[in-house]
Chain A
Amino acid sequence: MTVQLDARPPVVPAPPRSSGRLSRLDTRLSPYLYIAPFFLLFAVFGVYPLAYTFWVSLHDWDLLGADHPFVGAENYTRLLADPDFWHALVNTLGIFVISTVPQLLAALWLANLLNRGLRARTGWRMAVLVPNVTSTAAVAIVFGVIFGREFGMINWLLDLVGLDAIGWKSNRFASWVAISAMVDWRWTGYNALILLAAMQAIPRDLYESASIDGANRARQFWSITVPLLKPTIIFCAIIATIGGLQLFTEPRLFHSGTNPIRGGPMRESQTLTMYMFENAFAPHYNFGYGSAVAWLLFALIAIVAAVNVLILRRLGGGAGPRKETTP
């Protein structure tokens, strides 16, 4: 489809017929050719599985069964009656809330610190971003040890200040806190950099006129910076929702020993994705039931993301001027 560079003799005003048709074909069709790989692959490995999950969820479908009869909503009704499902749902939401709220607040604070005339600017930015580039699995293992019962560093620190040791893996709420610490460790710096980028786009004269009017630093932060950052904060919150509600690697590797897919002996920190895995893959291989979990999780993510947007739109009074979003 390449056209020869010298196909058009410079003296002839109109190009030869064949080459002209070829080049018209080229400008007309080649764009589709260039974007086709994405859409083809995404259709096969992205859209189709997601839609087909719903189809599978309506069937009694496991690894060994030769046929998989249609059962309608039975997987869903069974799921909604399963206390382990509700347990995992509460775990997921609990971990989500106690990780996301402090994470975004800390990121905002960190971005505010980084948004000053600092020496070694890039160095500080790298230091806060480095957790984000590490391997999630490796970090989950390390945090599993730091939060160990007997020889963990956190319990040792608690002991130093005269507090009792905490069973970070056997106490339900404590395991949520430990996993949230892991999530926040990884994502706070990343979000801080995104918020920092948005902060730098705020015109300085807004602050100058505010300080002439007598507004102090804190006042300026809450009535200029935060409202102007609202679109970016919403963006961060949605990303955190999509990731947080699908949490898997951190809680899975936080636990070791027998049957860690259950997130502890009493399912202390089994998230919905872990629950989906436990049912869809080893040990049960019940694809129909697992697919029902996947669809409810999908619905949950959509609902929580929408709720996030509503709450954050309301916060801080009227809508601040939207950041320019030139595509």
Chain B
Amino acid sequence: MSRLWRASPLTYLALIVAAGLSVFPIWWMFVVASRTSDAMGQLPPPMTPGGNLGANIARLFDNTDAYFLTGLINSAIVASTVTVSVVFFSSLAGFAFAKLRFRGRNALLLVIIATMMVPTQLGVIPLYLLMTRLEWNDRLPAVIVPALVTGFGVFMMRQYAGQAVSDELIEAARMDGCGTARIWWHVVLPALRPAAAVLGLLTFMTTWNDFLWPYAVLNDPANPTVQLSLRALSDGYYQDMSQVFTGTAIVTLPLLLVFVLFGRQIIGGIMEGAVKA
């Protein structure tokens, strides 16, 4: 490492400030979640956890407007279904784009890249009308089915498959009489595992966090995703912030857990994608 790249104490100081700003709102969210609602009126604001977390959780799950438990279960169902589907279809399509020869391959790949740039969110109104016709309004398929594939996923798997799977291996499998489906299952999928894991994590977090589309299509307050439960809490219980913050903390916790366990892989995925994209 040349002397140009040494980190001075000033570098560390600046990084400490940046890291502090990043972590502080999350920390403070857990502080308020563990205190009574009086914490909101205290200045200077309390910075250490209190002992009221259990009571807040009990009040939150008893709340008859937020349907918090239903929200948690629904979000878990939606996010895991979408994750499995995105990883499955993306690895299939990514393999095809990276390793199989077919007419129109480059043009179709360009279409996929273009879909990543198009703000499909703006199609919510016809999507809503479509869901009404399918009678999926207020039901989970409305938020699951449109999310089953993503252009990002296909593109990411295609990039990874291009370098992780050797052509010789595929040729050899073909010589042995393997059809493409078997090649995908026995040769490609094992090699794609690291990228599939990152894609799965990113998809799970995105889906878990999604707000706009569920907000549009799930109008039955008794059948929300957990983000919609948060909305119900925020709109109705701004007097009882410790309860609201308990909700936000519980919603954030699984994401933080995933991040602490797999942060290195997620960072690797983001940075590799940036270099190749």
Q: A189-B22, A326-B276 are in contact. Are A130 and B40 (CB under 8 A)?
A: no
Judge if B169 is at the interface, Cβ distance under 8 Å.
Answer: no
Judge if A308 is at the interface, Cβ distance under 8 Å.
Answer: no
**For A273, what are the chain B residues with a Cβ–Cβ distance below 8 Å?**
121, 212
For residues 167 through 198 of chain A, which have their beta carbon under 8 Å from a beta carbon of chain B? 185, 189-190, 193-194, 196-198
**For A48, what are the chain B residues with a Cβ–Cβ distance below 8 Å?**
123, 126, 130
- A53, A133, A248, A290: the one contacting B256 at CB < 8 Å is A133
Please give the distance in Å from A286's CB to the nearest CB on chain B. Answer: 10
**Which of under 10, 10 to 19, 20 to 34, or 35 or more describes the interface residues of A?**
35 or more
Please give the distance in Å from B34's CB to the nearest CB on chain A. Answer: 14
**For A86, what are the chain B residues with a Cβ–Cβ distance below 8 Å?**
none
- B115, B177, B231: the one contacting A137 at CB < 8 Å is B231
A5 touches B178 (CB 8 A): yes
Please give the distance in Å from A87's CB to the nearest CB on chain B. Answer: 20
In the complex, the chain A residue whose C-beta lies closest to that of B258 is A133
Judge if A85 is at the interface, Cβ distance under 8 Å.
Answer: no
In the complex, the chain A residue whose C-beta lies closest to that of B211 is A249
Q: A1-B181, A135-B208 are in contact. Are A46 and B7 (CB under 8 A)?
A: no
A291 touches B7 (CB 8 A): no
21 A–B pairs (Cβ distance < 8 Å), ordered by A:
A4-B177, A26-B179, A27-B100, A37-B89, A50-B122, A116-B7, A125-B267, A126-B263, A126-B264, A129-B267, A130-B23, A131-B22, A135-B227, A153-B28, A156-B45, A185-B21, A189-B18, A194-B271, A197-B271, A252-B211, A257-B235
A118 touches B7 (CB 8 A): yes
A3 touches B211 (CB 8 A): no
**For B90, what are the chain A residues with a Cβ–Cβ distance below 8 Å?**
38
Residues of B within 8 A of A (CB): 1-2, 4-7, 11-12, 14-15, 18-19, 21-23, 25-26, 28-29, 32, 40-45, 89-90, 92-93, 95-97, 100-102, 105, 108-109, 111-112, 115, 117-130, 145-146, 148-149, 151, 154, 159, 176-182, 184, 205, 208-209, 211-212, 215-216, 219, 227, 230-231, 233-235, 238, 241, 244-245, 247-249, 251-252, 255-256, 258-259, 263-264, 266-267, 270-272, 274-277
One digit per residue, 1 when the CB lies within 8 angstroms of any chain B CB and 0 when it does not, for chain A 1-13 equals: 1111111100000
Residues of A within 8 A of B (CB): 1-8, 23, 26-28, 30-32, 34-35, 37-39, 41-42, 44-46, 48-50, 52-53, 56, 110, 113-119, 122, 124-131, 133-139, 141-146, 151, 153, 156, 185, 189-190, 193-194, 196-198, 201, 204, 207-208, 211, 217, 220, 232, 235, 238, 242, 246, 248-249, 252-253, 256-257, 260, 273, 277, 280-282, 287, 290-291, 294-295, 297-298, 301, 325-327
B4 touches A207 (CB 8 A): yes
A41 touches B149 (CB 8 A): yes
Please give the distance in Å from A308's CB to the nearest CB on chain B. Answer: 13
**For B182, what are the chain A residues with a Cβ–Cβ distance below 8 Å?**
2-3, 5
Q: A50-B123, A135-B248 are in contact. Are A38 and B130 (CB under 8 A)?
A: no
B251 touches A135 (CB 8 A): yes
Report Cα–Cα, A138/B102, bound state, in Å. 46
Q: A280-B125, A287-B129 are in contact. Are A141 and B244 (CB under 8 A)?
A: yes
Report Cα–Cα, A5/B176, bound state, in Å. 7
A127 touches B93 (CB 8 A): no
A30 touches B100 (CB 8 A): yes
B274 touches A144 (CB 8 A): no
**For A116, what are the chain B residues with a Cβ–Cβ distance below 8 Å?**
5-7, 11
Please give the distance in Å from A69's CB to the nearest CB on chain B. Answer: 16
**For B127, what are the chain A residues with a Cβ–Cβ distance below 8 Å?**
45, 49
A5 touches B177 (CB 8 A): yes
Report Cα–Cα, A37/B151, bound state, in Å. 11
**For B129, what are the chain A residues with a Cβ–Cβ distance below 8 Å?**
52, 56, 287
In the complex, the chain B residue whose C-beta lies closest to that of A182 is B25
